[in-house]
Amino acid sequence: MWKELGCYARKAYRMNMDSLKKLHSLLLPALRDEFDIKERSRGKTPNGNISTLLRLSAAIRFFAGGSVYDIMLSHGMGKQSVYKSVYGVVNAVNATAALAFNDNGAEFPSHEEQREIAAGFRAMSAADFDTIILTLDGMLVWTTQPAAAECELIEIGERLFHCYRKDKFGFLLMAGCDHETRFRWVDIKHPASTSDYLAWTNTDVGIELENDDSDLILPDHVIAGDNAFVENMTMATPIPGTQITDVEDAYNFYLSQVRITIERAFGILVHRWGILRRPLSMSIRKVPSIVICLMRLHNFCIDNGDSRRTPTPRSRDERHIRQRAATQRTRDDERQAAVSLDSNGIPSALVGSGHHFRDAPRGRRPRRNNNDLTPMRKMIRKVADADLRRPA
C-alpha cells in the first residue's frame, strides 16, 4: 500500500515513511498494551489479527482528514476497527513518555529548557529580546454541537460551547510554543465561549504565576501574549490603544515578530492534521485527548525533520474535509466553510475566539499597578535605548 502511494505518501500521512516507521517503533510497547494482541486459545481470528502498524496507519490517515470509508477500503478493516484504531493510537501517543511536551514529562519547561528557548527567540528577534520563554495564545477547536446529555455529565452548559465570535461550537485550546513552533504547554478544559484571559488565569500554571514568589519561570523572563492577556511580572503584551508613542509602537512591532510564532504553530498544526479544519464529530469528552495527541505528533514531526511546510492534502481528503465542514450551518443558515490559512499561515477562522474580557471581573480589562517595573517595561526601554522604530 505504501509503495503504491510513492511520492504521494507524504501528502496522505503528513509525514514521510521513515518518520512513520520510527513513530511505530516508538509506540510499539504502548500499542501492544492498548490492543492486547494475544493468540486465541481455540481456532484462529477469521481474517488474522490487525497489525499495530496497520492500526497506526489508519489512525494517521484519519488525523490527516481522510474519509473513514476510504480508510476501510485501503486498510481492509471495518468501520468499528478504524475507530478502535484511532482511539487506541490516541491513548498510546498520550501514554508514551518520549512524546511528552517537555523533558521528564513535565507540564511546563524547566529552567534549562527556558534558557534554550529564550536564546532561540533572541536569535529571531530584531530587537534582541532575550527574556521570552514561550509565546501564548488560544485557538478554537471546532466540534459539532455537543449532546445535552454529555454536557450534563461534564457539568458545562451546552450554550457555553458556542463561540459567538466565530459562530462555531467547540473547546478553547490554550497553548504555548517555543521558537521552533513546538508546543511546550497545553490546556484544553474550557468551552469555546471562554475568554483567553479567564482560561489562562484558571490554569494550574496561570494560578501559580499569580504568586510573585513563584520560581516556575526564570527571574526577569516572560511569556509573550497578545492583548487578550494582561501585563504583569511574567507576561509581556502589546500596548493597547492608538495614542501611543513611537517607541511603544516600535515595541509592539518587534514583540509581534516573536509573538506570532504561536499563531504560526496553530497554522502548521491545523494544516497538517486536516480533521481540525472541519468540526470534530465525536463525544465532547474525547476531544481534549485527541487534540493533545495531535499536538504531540506535531512536535514529533518537527523533531524528525518533517518540514513545517506540510504539503497540501490529497484532493480526495480535501473534498472530504470541505464536505464535512459544509454539514454545519451559520446563524444565517449558510453552510460553513472548511478552515484555511491566511497569507501569514494563520488559521484566522479559529484564532482570536477568546479576545474579550466579558467574563473578567467587571467585564473589562484588568489594570496593572503602574508602580511595578515589569520585565515588559525593560523590553520597552531596550527598544528606546537602541532607538528602534517600526519599519516604514
| pTM attached to this predicted model | 0.94
Task: Report CA dihedral (71, 77, 83, 89) to the nearest 10 degrees.
Answer: -90
Do the beta carbons of residue 174 and residue 136 sit within 8 Å?
Answer: yes
Distances (CA, A) of 59 to 53, 195, 240: 10, 32, 44
pLDDT digits (tens, 9 = 90+) for 100-114: 999 989 999 999 999
Residue 8 pLDDT > 80, yes or no? no
Report the alpha-carbon distance of residue 372 to residue 232 in Å, rounded: 8
Distances (CA, A) of 323 to 70, 320, 328, 337: 14, 5, 10, 9
Grid coordinates in use for 83? 475507530
Instruction: Residue 10: name the closest of 86, 67, 25, 18 by CA.
Output: 18
Average pLDDT value for residue range 171-199:
96
The pLDDT of residue 332: 79
Residue 242 pLDDT > 90, yes or no? no
The pLDDT of residue 357: 81
Grid coordinates in use for 205? 500554571
Query: Considering the chain, what is the average pLDDT of its residues?
Result: 91
- Name residue 141's beta-bridge partners: 171
Residue 60 pLDDT > 90, yes or no? yes
Residue 4 pLDDT > 70, yes or no? no
